[in-house]
Amino acid sequence: MKPTGTKVWLFNYKRPSTHKRTNLSIGRYPIVALKDARNKRDEYLSLLAKGSTH
C-alpha cells in the first residue's frame, strides 16, 4: 500500500547487473485482477531468465 492508500501489485526482483532489489509496479488493485498480475509476473520472470534487464 502506498502512503496515499492506493494498493498496487508489485513485482520484486533482483537486477541481474547490479544484484540490487527492485520493485516494478504491475498495476493498481482492484483494477488489475490477481490472475492478470500473476500472468504479468510470469512474463517478467521469463524475461529475467532470458537475461533481459528490463
The structure's pTM equals 0.77
Residuewise pLDDT in 10s, the chain (54 residues): 778 889 999 999 998 888 899 999 999 999 999 999 999 999 999 998 887 655
8/24 Cα distance (integer angstroms): 10
Which residue pairs, CB below 8 angstroms and at least 24 apart, start in 27-34? 34/9
Q: What is the predicted pLDDT for the residue at 19?
A: 87
Q: What is the predicted pLDDT for the residue at 2?
A: 75
3/24 Cα distance (integer angstroms): 17
Q: What is the predicted pLDDT for the residue at 34?
A: 96
